[in-house]
Chains A and B, each alone.
Chain A
């Protein structure tokens, strides 16, 4: 950290301060320095850019850029800020994509939402938003949503027209023997979900893949600013239903940090239990998704059967199976009753009884191994370069896990170690999923035992301890909060205004975005039949891809 400080102090900055044990918060005075700073940071070992986030301060007539540089292995990170002008002509900043490949789509997103132009970016096209939003910068504070939505028919026509124009150029002849054809993989492909991969192919061979995303764009980051701090959880959990708990957890932590509220020990342990249950339910769907893409639906059914038991616990606890809305700023939303832990035990038993079958039939499956062990290799360097995280990063042997690196909730009191694979092939990612489920089950067992003990010794009161009050109005401030989500790192950057009743800006960084960015790199030169397998193994969910 000290070396980082030294490097940064050689540039003119407004402040350099320590933020949390693992973060350094810096605001550089001139945006022109950005590229130099980024280069220096990269040389000192911060090889990963988590995300790029802009905040529109309309009253000060400036846009604040936030860059989150990370060192995945050594627990040191840097939060870099700088101001740029808000006027569209001058709203420019140097692109860091040439240095950090992982920034590419994040810069495109900022360009689409805020109109920030990144000079030096080689592919600065709008992303996520549909054609009717092009050039309108929907996340700027002065964008008028109502007027835009009033012209529904015109907007739809615009989208349809541009699609038709695009379609007209779908086939190009290169020479008499070959042509470049654009094949639309999705959004109605059985394995795709709502995403369209524009596969440029020559016959069977893939020339390149250009993912067209945004089919389920709900503008969640904008929606939360329209709700109060409690009501925002229902927007945040819709990041992805498969693991809705951990996304709320991340948001709740950010709010608690700004409000300066300490939650109870019991709530922390409950967050661990709920979070791991959600992780298991997500990973089980992930394994199912992997095999679904290969054309075998049995494992999805088997996993679904197991998952029901975990969802039973969530339903007993919160009253809903999928959209639980069960973590609020200030703790967890509901008190715990003893019978729920019995149900949780039933789920754990069900898993313990079934896991050997799953392992024997699906994890060690020879047909899958034959096919998946030779495809979709991601090396360790690529993980750092493209800012991959979570399951995908660990399957390539990178020891990163925010539960250990930057412990939140009660993870600092839990015995756990990094679960990693070696090769980073598609097969490794499936095995990684299964081993992480086992790890989560182990964590739940530890947490459950602890909670039961403390309830027995009357140190926890499960009926009253679950919540502390968080004030309705928050002071001016900002916070970032990272959690290990089912798919990887979720980073939330929350900004509040003076006496705020609702968030001023919430940036949600979700892992599928970077995973989808990898597709072109992984599949270039492969054949069409490899797409489903690689796509399935990357554990992509369109919910957190589009947000």
Chain B
């Protein structure tokens, strides 16, 4: 009787020390992890060249291109997850190397949203670009533009100089030749 009681107490008290499987949060543990699992997209706005290929191939038109205030590489894909069918074709066509700019493989699988219409509208892979990045890009572009302008000016000046020289020289040569021929 006492032994039974002790074993019972022991058995029950075990629950205090051993974590029950029900307590375990399995959301983070995949039953079958796969490297190629097509989950939530990750968009790398720094390497994206804005070629629009992913948008063109998307069979469900889930991708829209977000406009950026730059002159070049000024679009970047954003994905509507309620429309996306996770076929991964956008990743296939992305031309950037060595790493693709839009990647689903090994992406997040726990994409959860509320059940209301408004929640669906919020269910996007948005590309949040920090202001600092925009500023540096704009500065770079501005710097590049200034540099280019300067270079262009310089080139124009040089060309003008050259043309001037040639203009000066040509008649000289001609004169010499001409005179040489004459004499």
Query: Residues of A with Cβ closer than 8 Å to B?
Result: 227-228, 230-235, 312, 315-320, 323, 325, 333-334
Whether the pair A333, B92 counts as a contact (CB closer than 8 A) is yes
Whether the pair A234, B85 counts as a contact (CB closer than 8 A) is yes
**Chain A residues within 8 Å of B87, by CB:** 233-234, 323, 325
* Given A228-B57, A231-B59; A320-B32 close (CB under 8 Å): no
* Given A235-B59, A319-B104; A230-B89 close (CB under 8 Å): yes
Q: How far is the CB of A369 from chain B (nearest CB, A)?
A: 36
Q: Which residue on chain B has the smallest CB distance to residue A311?
A: B32
| Residue from the list A227, A228, A230, A319 in contact with B36, Cβ < 8 A | A319
Q: How far is the CB of A471 from chain B (nearest CB, A)?
A: 15
Whether the pair B34, A315 counts as a contact (CB closer than 8 A) is yes
Q: Give the distance in Å from the alpha carbon of A328 to the alpha carbon of B60 in the complex.
A: 17
Q: How far is the CB of A223 from chain B (nearest CB, A)?
A: 9
**Chain B residues within 8 Å of A312, by CB:** 32
**Chain B residues within 8 Å of A234, by CB:** 59-60, 85, 87, 89
Whether the pair A325, B36 counts as a contact (CB closer than 8 A) is no
Q: Which residue on chain A has the smallest CB distance to residue B37?
A: A319
Asked if B45 lies at the interface with its beta carbon under 8 angstroms from chain A, I say: no
Whether the pair A319, B105 counts as a contact (CB closer than 8 A) is yes
Q: How far is the CB of A248 from chain B (nearest CB, A)?
A: 11
Q: Which residue on chain B has the smallest CB distance to residue A316?
A: B34
Asked if B86 lies at the interface with its beta carbon under 8 angstroms from chain A, I say: yes
Asked if B88 lies at the interface with its beta carbon under 8 angstroms from chain A, I say: yes
Whether the pair B89, A316 counts as a contact (CB closer than 8 A) is no
Whether the pair A320, B86 counts as a contact (CB closer than 8 A) is yes
* Given A315-B37, A319-B38, A319-B104; A325-B88 close (CB under 8 Å): yes
Interface residues of B in 23-79 (CB under 8 A from A): 32, 34-38, 56-60
**Chain A residues within 8 Å of B57, by CB:** 228, 230-231
Q: Give the distance in Å from the alpha carbon of A323 to the alpha carbon of B59 in the complex.
A: 14
The A interface is mostly helix, strand or loop, or mixed, namely loop
Q: Can you list 8 contacts pairing A with B, beta carbon distance less than 8 Å?
A: A234-B89, A235-B59, A312-B32, A319-B38, A319-B104, A319-B105, A323-B85, A325-B88
Q: How far is the CB of A304 from chain B (nearest CB, A)?
A: 14
Q: How large is the interface on B (under 10, 10 to 19, 20 to 34, 35 or more residues)?
A: 10 to 19
**Chain A residues within 8 Å of B85, by CB:** 234, 323
Most B Cβ at <10 Å: residue of A315, A317, A334:
A315
**Chain A residues within 8 Å of B104, by CB:** 319
Closest 10 A/B residue pairs (Cβ): A319-B36, A231-B59, A319-B38, A325-B87, A315-B34, A234-B87, A234-B59, A316-B34, A227-B59, A312-B32
Q: Give the distance in Å from the alpha carbon of A250 to the alpha carbon of B39 in the complex.
A: 27
**Chain A residues within 8 Å of B36, by CB:** 315-319, 334
- For the complex with contacts A230-B89, A315-B32, 9 further pairs of A-B residues with Cβ separation under 8 Å are A227-B59, A230-B57, A231-B57, A231-B58, A231-B59, A231-B89, A232-B59, A319-B36, A325-B89
Q: Which residue on chain B has the smallest CB distance to residue A237?
A: B87
Q: Which residue on chain B has the smallest CB distance to residue A315?
A: B34
Whether the pair A319, B92 counts as a contact (CB closer than 8 A) is no
Q: Give the distance in Å from the alpha carbon of A228 to the alpha carbon of B37 in the complex.
A: 24
Q: Which residue on chain A has the smallest CB distance to residue B85?
A: A234
Q: How far is the CB of B128 from chain A (nearest CB, A)?
A: 26
Q: Give the distance in Å from the alpha carbon of A508 to the alpha carbon of B22 in the complex.
A: 47
**Chain A residues within 8 Å of B105, by CB:** 319
Q: How far is the CB of B31 from chain A (nearest CB, A)?
A: 9
Q: Give the distance in Å from the alpha carbon of A320 to the alpha carbon of B36 in the complex.
A: 8
**Chain A residues within 8 Å of B35, by CB:** 316
| Residue from the list A228, A231, A320 in contact with B38, Cβ < 8 A | A320
Q: How far is the CB of B81 from chain A (nearest CB, A)?
A: 15
**Chain A residues within 8 Å of B34, by CB:** 315-316, 319
Q: Give the distance in Å from the alpha carbon of A233 to the alpha carbon of B87 in the complex.
A: 9
| Residue from the list B59, B60, B88 in contact with A319, Cβ < 8 A | B88
Q: Give the distance in Å from the alpha carbon of A275 to the alpha carbon of B48 in the complex.
A: 36
Q: How far is the CB of B40 from chain A (nearest CB, A)?
A: 13
Q: Which residue on chain B has the smallest CB distance to residue A312?
A: B32
Q: Give the distance in Å from the alpha carbon of A318 to the alpha carbon of B86 in the complex.
A: 11
Q: Give the distance in Å from the alpha carbon of A393 to the alpha carbon of B11 in the complex.
A: 60
**Chain A residues within 8 Å of B59, by CB:** 227, 231-232, 234-235
Q: How far is the CB of B51 from chain A (nearest CB, A)?
A: 15
Q: Give the distance in Å from the alpha carbon of A317 to the alpha carbon of B38 in the complex.
A: 11
**Chain B residues within 8 Å of A334, by CB:** 36
Q: Give the distance in Å from the alpha carbon of A495 to the alpha carbon of B38 in the complex.
A: 32
Q: How far is the CB of B91 from chain A (nearest CB, A)?
A: 10
Q: Give the distance in Å from the alpha carbon of A228 to the alpha carbon of B36 in the complex.
A: 24
Q: Give the distance in Å from the alpha carbon of A289 to the alpha carbon of B174 in the complex.
A: 98
Q: Which residue on chain A has the smallest CB distance to residue B106?
A: A319
Q: How far is the CB of B42 from chain A (nearest CB, A)?
A: 14
**Chain A residues within 8 Å of B89, by CB:** 230-231, 234, 325
Most A Cβ at <10 Å: residue of B59, B88, B92, B104:
B59
Q: Which residue on chain B has the smallest CB distance to residue A318?
A: B36
